[in-house]
Every structure is written in structure tokens, then in C-alpha cells.
């Protein structure tokens, strides 16, 4: 009897060892915070992959904001990068790109798979290392003019196609106690990221920024100062109120939803604030009204623009695979399987429905979207050309005085020329440090 | 002040200037108290609002009170797993810091040698190092040590091919680094305090045949209670709220502490305020209860630590 029991135990041990040997472990370093839309549903999406792939053991670590970048820096320094990493196309993930710490996804995912995505996200030139280090899940449009069309039509106004039209309607709106344009300018990045980047794109173009960083032109040149002056003009014309500098990022959506502004300028991600809250079943703007009373438009044509219709946008984040994984190994195959699952039409459709982002996959359709999400997809399609988001194109040391300077212009404490000088000083210092 | 003095004070008429001073002091203290308490009350009340309600009603009382934020936050933050770790890390490290600080402080203060100054200085210089500057080197150190020990044990055939963990991704590693990182301040405080204990007592014990450890156990520990209390009071909130080191030292949820769970709710463009506020209340509550329960000891401990007896 004892022998039989021993034999069974030995058999079970061997069996379990065999099963263990077949399992491939992949570590994932993911960026998500629990306040993101659909956090619980996202966990279910990952769990589905675990359930459907019993031969893969997934060890996932989640962080967000600065702690994510600190931990990533530690992983890079120690040479212990996780197998699958959430990363940016440039910016904070520059080390991963430049040191080629992640693999080129183009051959791993294959042409057929990548053909499902809009061409600009699979274009390697958009990424810091000039290869497909990560597959952007989306393109983020940072300038969207959320428009209360009902409010405009009630006052006999139309969506403006030029700045002159926008300026002309400001007194009429203000007479009714309505702000023409609402922005959450208390956060200094908002003006730069959500409007000024588009102004620079329209008036100067991306090439001008590249030349300025190369030292061929200066931020103190007349052209750039004119772009800053346009911001000053908007404040002087009353199109944007100086009191917007006291409006925090969190409170702006409610003000717009309450009809206290005709236009609200922010990034495409801000549509999430208006969608139905899954836990309470309530929405800041009722879906029926989202459909009938609101629209998303590009900022109107501005005087002196060279590139009409351009709006600022940046490639979104996505997942990359560690270069330390041996080519052709089971681990590499498991990591590719995970990426193909995460970027599948089904998972991308779920993320779209959850309001996480507007997916870069072309074949994703859903009839469960709230009107604002559908309208945002249409807005993306309506923008003819994109330009740099300045905090994505410039170093932190350069866009910090720019962000601050735009606030100072709003407050009237600095002139566009003074702000331009502080930016150029930062560029000179940055160039000297990078010689 | 005896009973007679008190009676004399009671009979003295209150001068208008004194009253004005008192009123001013109460106003200043009242304003400070309000500035401390109001954000806590605001946070607590808003944790019972849905995010949609919060956006439209930031300052008022909740209209539709909801407890769902707490239930969901507890679940998403996996606080049931984290709270036990927080208690272990906080209490374990506090005991370790206090014990080793007293032990080292005793050696530096009462057991003199030519090297004392140099060794003491090398410990104290740690006060100048910030946690931020230590994060990446510490991560490198713990992963390298684990890898090195793992390679040796593997070559001796003592462990299998898997990852070896001693300092990285272990509770032991967290405790050791927490204790080590707080020792410079602890050693400085204990050394200075123990210096104030008369050497004659120690010499008398030595004459009676007591060894250093016996002297430490029977004399130093007993006489150093005020500084031990101060050290514990200073360290407990710091360790409970510590985030930067544990973020680097552990990856698995089962090893993380409460601040990591709370930070999960901190979105740059936060969209779910209700759950974020509930998570913050969950994280804040244990420390608040700690303060309410031990407020007398905290005040006494801090003031005792400031004086040498």
C-alpha cells in the first residue's frame, strides 16, 4: 500500500514538474491608475488572457505617474527590465528607445497585423529611436473645442469658422453671463498643451520648432512672438477670461456642463469627464443631450496662419517587449501573444467603449458608445493635419518657462517678448548642456 | 505651582491687555486648527459622493450619500492584503530602529576608542542623504546582492534555477532597509541622549562585574525610555506613510504596503474622485486613530525627548 502511495506521489511530482517546465513566465510593467475609466473592466480583460493561456504565467506590476518613471529608471539602471513594458513614443521613455532596450515590434507583430492600424502609428519615424519600439494605442488630440451648440443657437449664433467670428460673439455671450471660451488655466500646462501648440502649428509649423531647437531660428524671433501675442489678444478681446487662471482642471467640466461657457477647450481625453459614471449611473451631460446639444470642433482659423486646420496631436503610449528576451524563445512568443491579444479588435473595442481612448485600430466599431465618444471619433477623422504638442517636442527645461509664461501673459504680468526671452534662455542652456 | 499659588493666581484680576493677548492667541490657534481639520472633514464628506456629484457639488454636503466608493476602493486597492504588511513594516522597523539606535548610541557615547569619532561620523553623514538619491543605488544593490548570492547557492547545488530573493521583493528586505535608512537620525539622537547619562553609574556597574550587554539591558534601556519613545513617535508615521523606498523594493502586491495601494488612486487627470477620496480616508484613518489614542504620549514623548534628564 505504502509503495502504491509513494508511486502515485512520485508520478504526481513528475507530472507537476513537467507542467511547470512547460509554463512560460512573463513579467509586465503596466501604467494605470485606479481612477482611470474602466479600471475594474481592464482587470477582467487581463484576467481573460490569463484564463485563455494556461501555459503562460503573467506577473503584472501596476504603477502610475512619477512612481512609474522612478521604478522604470531603477529597472533600466539595474538591467532588469520586465518582459513587457508600457511606454511612451518619446519623452519619459527616451532611454528605452535610444539604448534600444526594447525590440522592434514590426517583424514580431508582422505586416498583416499592423495593417489593421492607422499608418501614422506604425510609422517608425514618429518614435524616438526611429523604430517601432511600442505600438501606440491611440493618437491623442490635445486641442478640441467642446461646443454647446444649443446655447449658441438659442442666442442666434453659429459655430465660428474664424477667430474674428469668435471674437464678435464674445460680447453677446458675456452680456448673458456666459463665458465665450472656458479653459482650466490654473494648471499651467493646459494653455500650452491644449491651445498654444495648435496656434504654433498653424502660425509656424513643426519645422520651425525643429529649427529653433537646432539653433537656426530663435524663440525671440518675430514669428514666435506673434504666436504669443495671439494668446495675449485672446485675453484682451475677452474671448478667454483672465479669471480662467483660477479655474482648476477638476472643476472646468462641471462649469461647461452647467452651460456657463459656450466653448470648452481641452484634450480629447476630457470627453471621459462627461460620460456616464458606471457606479452611480449618472453623467455630467445626459447622453441624450450629448447627442443633440453639443459638438466637437477644431479651433477656428486664426489671423496669420500658414497651416490652416492643423491641430496638435501626439502619438499615444503602448506596449513594448524587452530586448533582453532571446529571439525565438518561448518567452518572446508569449510576449507577442500578449500584445496581439491586447491590440486585438475585441480588446480595443472594449477600451473604446470604456472611454479609455480612441483606438488607433481601424477596424473597431461599436454601437455601445455614448454620443460624446462617437463625436470624438468623428472629430479625429475631421482634422486634416496634426502638429507637435509642444511639451512632447521640447525638453522639460524649455516648456516649463513656456507654460509659466503663458500664465503670466494671461495675468498681464509679462509681455510676449519677455516670455520669448525666458524660453530662448532655456533653449540656450539646453543646447549648451547637450553639445 | 502649589495650591496656594493657584489661589493667588485665581484672585488676580485679569488685565485687559492679557485678555486681548488671550483672545489673539485663541484666534490664531483657532485658525490653525480650522486649517488642519477642514480639509480632513472636506475629504471625508466628499468620499461619500459619486464623481458626477462631486464635479457639480464640490463644497456642499453629499446629496446622495454612497458607501460604494469605500467598498470599491477597498477591493481595487487590495487593502486587505496591504494593511497587514503596513503594520508589520511599521512596527517591525520601529522596534529595530529603536533597538539598534540605543545599542549603537550606547557604544558611541560610553565605549570610547580612537575610532569612535570616525565611525560615529560615518553613521551620522547618512542624515544628509535623501531617500530620492538612494532609490536607484539601493535597487541596484539589492538586486545585485540577490543575484550574487543566488549564483553562489546555485553553483553549490543548494537551490534550483529559479530567482533567488533575499532583499528584493521580500518583507525581510523591506525591514532591513527601513531600519538602515532611519538609523543615522536614531543613532544621533540616542548617542546625544545617552551621553547625558552619568558615566559613574556605568563605572559602578562595571565594578560590580556587569558586562556591556548587561549594562545596556539593565541601565541604558531603562534610562533611555524618553528617547526611545520619541524615536518611535517620530518613526511610526514616517514608516506608515513611506512610499518611495517600498515602491522600488517590491513588485508583488502581496508584499506592498498601504501607501502603494492609495497611490494607485492618484491619476494625473483623475476621473474618479469618489474612489480616490475614499482610498485617502482609508489610508488616513489608522494614523488619525493612532494620534487620538496616543496624543498624550505623543506630546509627552516629543517634549521628553527634547530634554536630557
Q: Is there a contact between A254 and B55 if contact means CB atoms under 8 Å apart?
A: yes
Nearest chain B Cα to A272, which residue? Answer: B271
Q: Is residue B101 part of a domain?
A: yes
Q: Is there a contact between B248 and A251 if contact means CB atoms under 8 Å apart?
A: no
The conformation of residue A60, written as its DSSP 8-state character, comes to: E
B200-221 pLDDT per residue, tens: 999 999 999 989 999 999 999 9
Nearest chain B Cα to A58, which residue? Answer: B252
Q: Is residue B54 part of a domain?
A: no
pLDDT of residue B44: 94
How many other C-beta atoms can be found within 10 angstroms of the C-beta atom of residue A19? 11
Residues A383 and A313: their CA atoms lie apart, in Å, by 10
Residues of chain B in contact with residue A37, where contact means CB-CB under 8 angstroms, are: 271-272
Number of folded domains that form chain B: 1
Residues A391 and A335: their CA atoms lie apart, in Å, by 31
ipTM of the prediction greater than 0.90, yes or no: no
Nearest 10 degrees: Cα torsion B81, B82, B85, B86: -150
Range of the domain at B227: 78-303
Residues A15 and A432: their CA atoms lie apart, in Å, by 63
Q: Is residue B308 part of a domain?
A: no
User: What is the nearest CA distance from A28 to chain B, expressed in angstroms?
Assistant: 10
pLDDT of residue B6: 53
User: What is the nearest CA distance from B279 to chain A, expressed in angstroms?
Assistant: 10
Reported pTM: 0.78
Pure H helices in B111-224: 116-124, 131-155, 171-195, 199-207, 212-215, 221-223
Which residue among B50, B68, B247 places its CB closest to the CB of A282? B50
| Cβ pair B261, B279 in contact under 8 A | yes
Q: Is residue B190 part of a domain?
A: yes
pLDDT of residue B252: 87
The DSSP-derived string for A228-241 is HHHHHHHHHTTSB-
User: What is the nearest CA distance from A62 to chain B, expressed in angstroms?
Assistant: 8
Interface test with B, best of A25, A35, A71, A142 (most B CBs within 10 A): A35
Q: Is residue B143 part of a domain?
A: yes
The DSSP-derived string for A102-144 is B--HHHHH-HHHHTTB-HHHH-GGGSTTSS-SSEESBEEE--E
pLDDT of residue B134: 84
| Cβ pair B171, B88 in contact under 8 A | yes
Please check whether residue A21 touches B, CB under 8 A: no
* pLDDT average, residue stretch A245-259: 92
Q: What is the CATH number of the domain that holds B284?
A: 1.10.3720.10
Distances (CA, A) of A267 to A141, A389, A430, B167: 6, 11, 28, 43
| Cβ pair B227, B193 in contact under 8 A | yes
* pLDDT average, residue stretch B103-111: 93
Q: Is residue B61 part of a domain?
A: no
Q: Which stretch of DSSP H or E encloses residue B47?
A: none
Q: Is residue B142 part of a domain?
A: yes
Q: In the structure, what pLDDT confidence band is assigned to residue B131 with cuts at 50, 70 and 90? A: confident
Please check whether residue A324 touches B, CB under 8 A: no
pLDDT of B93 over the 80 cut? yes
Amino acid at each position: 500500500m505504502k509503495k502504491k502511495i509513494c508511486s502515485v506521489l512520485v508520478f504526481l511530482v513528475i507530472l507537476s514538474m513537467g507542467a511547470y517546465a512547460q509554463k512560460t513566465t512573463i513579467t509586465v510593467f503596466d501604467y494605470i491608475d485606479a481612477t482611470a475609466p474602466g479600471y475594474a473592466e481592464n482587470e477582467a480583460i487581463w484576467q481573460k488572457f490569463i484564463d485563455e493561456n494556461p501555459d503562460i504565467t503573467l506577473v503584472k506590476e501596476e504603477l502610475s505617474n512619477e512612481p512609474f518613471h522612478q521604478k522604470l529608471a531603477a529597472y533600466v539602471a539595474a538591467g532588469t527590465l520586465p518582459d513587457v513594458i508600457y511606454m511612451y513614443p518619446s519623452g519619459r521613455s527616451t532611454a528605452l528607445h535610444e539604448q534600444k532596450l526594447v525590440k522592434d515590434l514590426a517583424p514580431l507583430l508582422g505586416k498583416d497585423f499592423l495593417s489593421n492600424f492607422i499608418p501614422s502609428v506604425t510609422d517608425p519615424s514618429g518614435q524616438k529611436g526611429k523604430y517601432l519600439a511600442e505600438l501606440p494605442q491611440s493618437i491623442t488630440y490635445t486641442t478640441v473645442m467642446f461646443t454647446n451648440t444649443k446655447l449658441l443657437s438659442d442666442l442666434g449664433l453659429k459655430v465660428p469658422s474664424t477667430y474674428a467670428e469668435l471674437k464678435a460673439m464674445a460680447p453677446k455671450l458675456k452680456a448673458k453671463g456666459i463665458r465665450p471660451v472656458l479653459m482650466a488655466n490654473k494648471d499651467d500646462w493646459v494653455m500650452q498643451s491644449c491651445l498654444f501648440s495648435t496656434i504654433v502649428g498653424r502660425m509656424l509649423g513643426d519645422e520651425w520648432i525643429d529649427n529653433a531647437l537646432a539653433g537656426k531660428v530663435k524663440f525671440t524671433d518675430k514669428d514666435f512672438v506673434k504666436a504669443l501675442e495671439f494668446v495675449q489678444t485672446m485675453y484682451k478681446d475677452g474671448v478667454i477670461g483672465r479669471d480662467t487662471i483660477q479655474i482648476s482642471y477638476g472643476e472646468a467640466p462641471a462649469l461647461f456642463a452647467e452651460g456657463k461657457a459656450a466653448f470648452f477647450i481641452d484634450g480629447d481625453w476630457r470627453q471621459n469627464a462627461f460620460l456616464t459614471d458606471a457606479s452611480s449611473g449618472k453623467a455630467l451631460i445626459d447622453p441624450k443631450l450629448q447627442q443633440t446639444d453639443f459638438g466637437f470642433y477644431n479651433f477656428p482659423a486664426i489671423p496669420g496662419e500658414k497651416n490652416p486646420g492643423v491641430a496638435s496631436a501626439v502619438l499615444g503610449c503602448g506596449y513594448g517587449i524587452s530586448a533582453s528576451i532571446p529571439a525565438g524563445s518561448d518567452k518572446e512568443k508569449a510576449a507577442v501573444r500578449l500584445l496581439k491579444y491586447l491590440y486585438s479588435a475585441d480588446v480595443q473595442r472594449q477600451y473604446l467603449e470604456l472611454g479609455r481612448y480612441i483606438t488607433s485600430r481601424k477596424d473597431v466599431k461599436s454601437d455601445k458608445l455614448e454620443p460624446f465618444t462617437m463625436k470624438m471619433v468623428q472629430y479625429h477623422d475631421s482634422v486634416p493635419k496634426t502638429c507637435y504638442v509642444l511639451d512632447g517636442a521640447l525638453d522639460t527645461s524649455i516648456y516649463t518657462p513656456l507654460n509659466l509664461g503663458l500664465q503670466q501673459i494671461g495675468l498681464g504680468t509679462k509681455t510676449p517678448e519677455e516670455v520669448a526671452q525666458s524660453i530662448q534662455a532655456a533653449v540656450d542652456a539646453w543646447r549648451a548642456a547637450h553639445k | 505651582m502649589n495650591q496656594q499659588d493657584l489661589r493667588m493666581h485665581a484672585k488676580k484680576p485679569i488685565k485687559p491687555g492679557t485678555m486681548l493677548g488671550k483672545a489673539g492667541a485663541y484666534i490664531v490657534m483657532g485658525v490653525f486648527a480650522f486649517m488642519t481639520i477642514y480639509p480632513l472633514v472636506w475629504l471625508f464628506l466628499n468620499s461619500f459622493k459619486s464623481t458626477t456629484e462631486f464635479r457639480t457639488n464640490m463644497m456642499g454636503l453629499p446629496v446622495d450619500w454612497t458607501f460604494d466608493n469605500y467598498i470599491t476602493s477597498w477591493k481595487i486597492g487590495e487593502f486587505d492584503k496591504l494593511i497587514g504588511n503596513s503594520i508589520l513594516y511599521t512596527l517591525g522597523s520601529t522596534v529595530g530602529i529603536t533597538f539598534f539606535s540605543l545599542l549603537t548610541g550606547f557604544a558611541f557615547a560610553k565605549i570610547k576608542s580612537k575610532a569612535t569619532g570616525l565611525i560615529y561620523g560615518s553613521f551620522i553623514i547618512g542624515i544628509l542623504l535623501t531617500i530620492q538619491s538612494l532609490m536607484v543605488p539601493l535597487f541596484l544593490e539589492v538586486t545585485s546582492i540577490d543575484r550574487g548570492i543566488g549564483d553562489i547557492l546555485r553553483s553549490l547545488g543548494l537551490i534550483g534555477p529559479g530567482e533567488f530573493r533575499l532583499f528584493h521583493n521580500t518583507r525581510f528586505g523591506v525591514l532591513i532597509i527601513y531600519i538602515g535608512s532611519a538609523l543615522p537620525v536614531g543613532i544621533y539622537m540616542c548617542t546625544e541622549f545617552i551621553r547625558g547619562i552619568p558615566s559613574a553609574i556605568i563605572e559602578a556597574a562595571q565594578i560590580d562585574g556587569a558586562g556591556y550587554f548587561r549594562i545596556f539591558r539593565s541601565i541604558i534601556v531603562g534610562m533611555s525610555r524618553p528617547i526611545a519613545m520619541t524615536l518611535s513617535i517620530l518613526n511610526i508615521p514616517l514608516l506608515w506613510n513611506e512610499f518611495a523606498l517600498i515602491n522600488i523594493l517590491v513588485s508583488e502586491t502581496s508584499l506592498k504596503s498601504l501607501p502603494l495601494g492609495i497611490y494607485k488612486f492618484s491619476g494625473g487627470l483623475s476621473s474618479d474622485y469618489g474612489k480616490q477620496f475614499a482610498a485617502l480616508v482609508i489610508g488616513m484613518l489608522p494614523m488619525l486613530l493612532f494620534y487620538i489614542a496616543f496624543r498624550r504620549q505623543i506630546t509627552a514623548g516629543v517634549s521628553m525627548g527634547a530634554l536630557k534628564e
